[in-house]
Structure 1
Amino acid sequence: MMKGSHVLDRLLVLEMVRVTEAAAVAASNLVGRGDERAADHAAVEAMRNALNELDLDGTIVIGEGERDEAPMLYIGEKVGARRDDPNAPRIDIALDPLEGTTITAKAGANALAVLAIAEEGGLLNAPDVYMEKLAIGPGYPEGTIDLSRSASENIRSIAKAKGVDPSEIIVCVLDRPRHAALIAELRGLGCGINLIPDGDVAGVIAVTDPDTTIDVYMGQGGAPEGVLAAAALRCVGGQFQGRLVFRNDDERARAAKWGVTDLNRIYSLEELAQGDVIFAATGVTDGTLLEGVKRRKNAITTESVVMRASTGTVRWVRGEHRREPGGQD
């Protein structure tokens, strides 16, 4: 059995792209059709089939979750061609076959097929609840951000580290009623706010790309998406903190089921995604991170990104498929 960093074989880097490509192409058939469930189902089926062709013993630790009651790729599901082989490399998998189901149904921007893998135990098995998130890109001193501080304090800290006035900081926030107070506080500082309708994995990753001009991501989104975003930041650099948010006893019971005992804990980047990590995403619709799937006369084109923590490499992959991945001629 392979040990250490060799568990994540170099070949798996491009294999992950094949998996996200398959999900993205399948979901792209439903772009703008107004059917979120059909788009999600198509992506799930395609991703599951692609995962089951891989030479590994995989366990879904972040999946479609309990909340969605999805028929496939649920937390705890085993995948891979060698899932019954005791000598196979054991891999933890976090995934969102379609990050942005509403975006896809409405043909909006930034829908992605997303996947992260790590060695067994490397990804936080987060319950399917909300997570308060705070993220900045690389290049800042450690400790620049801290979830135990107010939004205003964090903005001032980021501005000081960047050498600008707080009014020059651009913040990415999910456009939700629950963020009304946060948005008011940020606007009180004069910050620019990039409100996004959905897709907070892309929102978090945007802080790592200077071309987006986004300095920081703030606010509450899904905890599973938080782990996926943390996996990406582990590969490209940056700081991330997350704190689980529990709205009722049912969600607190869900946390207990997954071994979460400290309900107020602030998780660091390394606690969410540790060891060697591979992150891959393929665009379903055009966005700030990736172009979406394009259908041309004789081919389908895809754009993907794949990153690896142990090597710090980021690869941009443009695929031209004479047939749909996993499909028939």
Structure 2
Amino acid sequence: MSTRPGPFDRADFPFALRLVTEAAAVAAHRWVGRSRKEDGDGAAVEAMRKALSDININAVVMIGEGEKDNAPLLYRGERIGKGEPEIEIAVDPIEGTTNMANGVDNSMAVMALAPRGAMFDLGPSFYMDKLVLPAAAKGKVDPAWPVKKKLEALAAALNKPVSELRIFVLNRKRHHAMIKEIHDVGARTMLQENGDVAGAFMALQPGSSVDALFGTGGSPEGIITAIFARAMGGEFFGRVDPQGDEEAAKVKDFGLDAGKWMSGAELVKSDDAVFVATGINSGPVCRGVSIEKGIAYTHSVILMAKTGARHDISSRFPIA
């Protein structure tokens, strides 16, 4: 293995990336509280794509917005730029689109990147079943276990009774049976309508009110979460979980096994990976955008999987 510094080791590289999520967040902010999530998402996608073109990279979109959300940009397989380094990206221009449109807390622009060839190709998978565990439970919970056994093992790892556990779950019909199982064992839930990247972040953050994340959300968020879980010292597992016959057929034809749990290391095969987020509305990861007298104020978070370093960047700049 070469010990020569690569492009990911350049001091300026991670900080240039936040220009991409900043652009998406500011573009989306114009649509906060207007109940028009498609317009907000479209603005964020366009701004993120333009910002990616403006920095000197050579990127392939491994997981993007295009096919699922009928967007013309940031689709799987799209190539962006001709510079260095050669990277793969997973993007979510608005994580928490409904929250953005409704004007409530917890939405952000996020992306993750790794060297070319590092990200597992999820193909046509839109949805992924996930298990996110804090550092104290790393290696102590098998994602294939039943809910009761997982909760008991998690409680033992965290040295607390099951009754004090709180599990983040997206409030979806597909999760109703699992939510009942969690409650029947005696644990509590935090049910949210969207925003499982923020939920995963809370599960990984020491001192948080959330102990783990269970359940199915978007595949892009799965790859993104696998990267920042590594940076935060926790553990991520995921398996493709098609929602509907059409997606199931596409996933099967692509050769993906919907029953197989994969570790974060299998999903992203490099420590040279970076997570970047900029808040749109304030949440547990980032403060939201504010605009005063033509000046935009943003808060971005960068997490480096290789070192575990976290960088918080507050920016201000004039906007048209």
Q: Do these two structures clear the TM 0.5 threshold for a shared fold by scoring above it?
A: yes
Say how many residue pairs are matched.
Answer: 316
Q: Distance in 2 between matches of 1:242 and 1:274?
A: 14
Cα offset for 1:206?
1.2
CA offset digits 1:5-37 (Å, max 9, x no partner): 613233220011111011001000000001011
Task: Report the AA paired with residue 190 of structure 1.
Answer: G
Report the 3-state secondary structure (helix = DSSP H, G, I; strand = E; otherwise coil) of the residue aligned with 1:70.
Answer: coil
Cα offset for 1:290?
1.3
Cα offset for 1:151?
1.2
Paired position in structure 1 for 2:137:
140
Q: Distance in 2 between matches of 1:103 and 1:43?
A: 14
CA offset digits 1:236-279 (Å, max 9, x no partner): 1101111111244422343256x434332111011112211011
Q: Does 1:280 align with 2:276?
A: yes
Task: Report the AA paired with residue 48 of structure 1.
Answer: R
Cα offset for 1:298?
4.9
Report the 3-state secondary structure (helix = DSSP H, G, I; strand = E; otherwise coil) of the residue aligned with 1:67.
Answer: helix
Structure 1, gaps ≥5 residues long: none
Paired position in structure 1 for 2:211:
215
CA offset digits 1:289-329 (Å, max 9, x no partner): 211101123522111100111222111111122x13xxx4x
Q: Does 1:181 align with 2:182?
A: no
Q: How does 1:157-306 map to 2 (within 5 A)?
A: 157-256=153-252, 259-275=254-270, 276-306=272-302
Paired position in structure 2 for 1:38:
39
Cα offset for 1:224?
1.6
TM-score of the two chains, using structure 1 as the length reference: 0.91
**How has the CA–CA distance of structure 1 residues 302 and 148 changed in structure 2, closer, same or farther, with 3 Å as cutoff?**
same
Match of 2:110 among 85, 97, 114: 114
Q: Distance in 2 between matches of 1:35 and 1:56?
A: 32
Q: Distance in 2 between matches of 1:201 and 1:294?
A: 22
Does the 8 A contact of 1:7 with 1:119 survive in 2?
Answer: no
CA offset digits 1:174-201 (Å, max 9, x no partner): 0111111111111112212111111111
Q: Distance in 2 between matches of 1:49 and 1:273?
A: 26
Cα offset for 1:125?
2.1
Task: Report the AA paired with residue 269 of structure 1.
Answer: G
CA offset digits 1:79-116 (Å, max 9, x no partner): 12x26xxxx43110111111111111101221110011
Paired position in structure 2 for 1:49:
50
**How has the CA–CA distance of structure 1 residues 195 and 261 changed in structure 2, closer, same or farther, with 3 Å as cutoff?**
closer
Paired position in structure 2 for 1:7:
7
Q: Distance in 1 between matches of 2:58 and 2:312?
A: 27
Task: Report the AA paired with residue 232 of structure 1.
Answer: F
Q: How does 1:17-96 map to 2 (within 5 A)?
A: 17-80=18-81, 82=82, 88-96=84-92
Structure 2, gaps ≥5 residues long: none
Q: Distance in 1 between matches of 2:238 and 2:172?
A: 18
Report the 3-state secondary structure (helix = DSSP H, G, I; strand = E; otherwise coil) of the residue aligned with 1:147.
Answer: coil
Task: Report the AA paired with residue 7 of structure 2.
Answer: V
Cα offset for 1:141?
4.2
